[in-house]
Structures are given as structure tokens and as C-alpha cells.
Amino acid sequence: MKKTSVKTVGILTSGGDAPGLNAAIRGICRSAMINYGMKIVGIRNGYRGLVNGDCISIGSDDLAGLLTQGGTILGTARDKPFKNPVPNPETGLLPIEAIKKNYKKWKLDALCVLGGNGTNTTGNLLYEEGLNVIGLPKTIDNDIVGTDITFGFHTAVDVATEAIDRIHTTAHSHSRVMVVEVMGHKAGWLGLYSGIAGGGDVILLPEIPYDIKHVASQILARRDAGKEFSIVVVAEGALSVEEAKLDKKAFKKARAAMTQSIGYRVAQELEAATGLESRVSVLGYLQRGGTPSPYDRLLATQFGVAAADFLANEEFGKLVAMRDNKIVGVPLSECAKKVKNIPKDHPLIQTARSCGTCFGD
């Protein structure tokens, strides 16, 4: 067993759940226990548990079956302790004061946070407050700066692609325009990958504002060529060229006024512009639920084992990341408050365009 001054580690999962979280927890814990003799404290419900003092002890028996299990055994929440902090009415402590108190109470030497942009941004703030923090990149959106890939993404691509495959048969049978709405609020990686893999005729992404006239023209051209159906893949954060001209406040107001999600709006616009029957499927939470794919199990396990090494070597303030098929440590400060968007010259976008896919521009 290797020597390290890090004896007790806290683990939490925060933000939306994603396939691979339990596999990552298992990877961290098994490596930390077997190789370094560390004790693991599981913190329930993300940063909320860290503030409220809600934790459990994790032993080797608790890790059985986690590799294939979806969700997170620790629970999760979207609490942001640094955003509009108010004192606890009972203790009078601010969230950061409560966190430091529990960190000391549990005798933690370090904290490992598993999550997306918000989680790792908070992790960086805790590191700046003097806590020893390591971050892991979890999100089906694949939008964390500093890493080529996040665990959860490939499973979501698999699920979304299978859904698009199935919708193809209905679209063909009924000669319809089928709009498939996938997740991706600020970045369209999931829409791009699943749209190409599922043979989408149109892919609408947050990074490329669309003109509905161009989309309608593409669909009518397909009809005139004897293709009676079309598949339109829409990321939930897709926006029109008109919306792209709005400032942030005006855009939020416009979106708040929408009674349905973007997929429904696109379908209505296309039906009006083409006269073709259009229907919508919103995949929603199906994309991030269920058992992780083999790829995500491997990736999450790799990240987890690497995180244990980072902890043992006291490489704090880092995100465990994958770059050029190598695991590296990226400063959390480089990832905080940032989103990894798709470059407009990304090879996959060029590939799709070469195959005749329309992006609405």
C-alpha cells in the first residue's frame, strides 16, 4: 500500500444525474481504499449535504453492483452555496461557514466533487477558500472546458440515436416531418452526435442560429425529390437568427413567454411553412437515465482511479480530464464559469454538411 498524507476523503455528486456517476464513485473508492488505505465519506445530495452535515461512511461492501447502476447512490441536488448566500436561521452560519465546519468535523483531508459546469465552478470556489478539492467531469452535454469528453455523454448519444432510429419508421410510414428534441441547453454536442448517427436531415444547435425558411426549403426539396418524410433533430437550446440578435435579458423574456419547448415551436413553424404534417418527440430525462454504456463505465472508472491518484499526490484544485486520450489535471479555475461550445468549423459539422445535412443557416 502506497503512503499518502491524505487519509479521509469526502465524495459528492451534484447537478443533474448522468450515467457513470456510480461507476466513478466505485473507481475512486476502490482505488483509494486498495492502493492508499483511505477512508471515504459519502456526502448526500451534493453541496446541500455538505452544508447540512448529511453524510455516510462508504465501505467496500457498499460498492458492489455500482459499475452498471444508473443514477447516483449519494443523491444529487442543484444547490449553489455561493449564490445569494443567507445565514441558516438555526445556526446563524453562512453556507461556506457550515461547509468548513463540516469539513473539519468529518476530518476530511480532501473533497472530490463529481458534476458539470456548476459543480466544478463551486469546487473551484471552495478550493479558493482553502479546501482541498478535486473535480470530475460529469455531464451528458459534454460541455465542460478542459476535457475532450465527459462521462455520461456517450450513453446519452446511444439513447438519443436509438430513439431517432425508431422515429424514422414512424416518419416513413406516415410521410411526416418528425422533430426530435434532445437535451443541450447551451451546447449542442448531443444533438450533433446523435443527429449525425441517427441520420437526421436537419440538425438545429445553439451554436448555429437557424432560419426557418432555410429549414423549410430543405424539407420541401426532399419532398420534391420523392422523399416523403424528414427527421429534424433539435437541441433544447437551439435558437433562431432573430433570437440570436437579442441581448441576454430580452432572450430570457422571449423564452419565458413560450408555452412549449423549442421542438414544438419548430414543428409548428415547419408545418405552417411547408404544409406537411409535423410531429414532436421530446426525449427529456430518458437521455440521462438508466445503466451506463460500456464506454462510459470504462471512462468513469478511469477518471475515478485517476482521481484517487490525484488525491494521494495532493494535486488539488484540478479537474481530472481527458485530452488526446491521456488523463491530465486541468486547473479548476480554467474550467469555472465556462461552457465548451461546438466550433463552427468542427470536423463533424463539416462531415454532416458534406452529406447534405441542413443546420438551418
Residues known to be catalytic? 141
CB of 219 closer than 8 Å to CB of 357: no
Q: In what order do the strands lie in the sheet with 230-235?
A: 202-204, 230-235, 177-182, 278-282
**What is the C-alpha separation between 88 and 51, in angstroms, rounded?**
10
CA 326 to chain centroid, in Å, comes to: 21
Q: Which of 330, 90, 348, 323 is nearest to 203 (CA)?
A: 348
CA atoms within 13 A on the CB side of 330: 23
Terminal CA-CA length for the chain: 58
3-state SS, residue 8: strand
Torsion of CA 177, 180, 184, 186, to 10 degrees: 20
Taking residue 351's Cβ as centre, other Cβ atoms within 10 Å add up to 12
**What is the C-alpha separation between 287 and 269, in angstroms, rounded?**
25
